[in-house]
A = this chain, B = another copy of it.
Amino acid sequence: AQNAEDQYGVANSQVVAIGETLAATQQQVQQLQESYYEILNANKIFVDEIMHLQKLVKAQNQVHNELLNH
């Protein structure tokens, strides 16, 4: 049994190391998840600003048409 217990000791420290690495990986994944939500919020602002610019440019085109037909 001594041999099996030695092997257990090696396997156990491997399991502990894997558990720690996995916990660190999960934390990284959690941070990436939060970063993704921040990007989604930034993208909503981009969509709003781009649509606002499109409206302004379209309105300016109408002013041009009025000025050119004047």
Chain A 1-43: CB-based contact to B (< 8 A → 1; otherwise 0): 1011101100110110011011001101100110110011011
Chain B residues with CB under 8 A of A64: 60, 63, 67
| Interface residue tally for chain A (C-beta within 8 Å) | 39
Given contacts A5-B4, A39-B43, A53-B53, contact A18 B11 (CB under 8 A): no
Least CB separation from A28: chain B residue = B29
A binding-site residues for B, Cβ under 8 Å: 1, 3-5, 7-8, 11-12, 14-15, 18-19, 21-22, 25-26, 28-29, 32-33, 35-36, 39-40, 42-43, 46, 49-50, 53-54, 56-57, 60-61, 63-64, 67-68
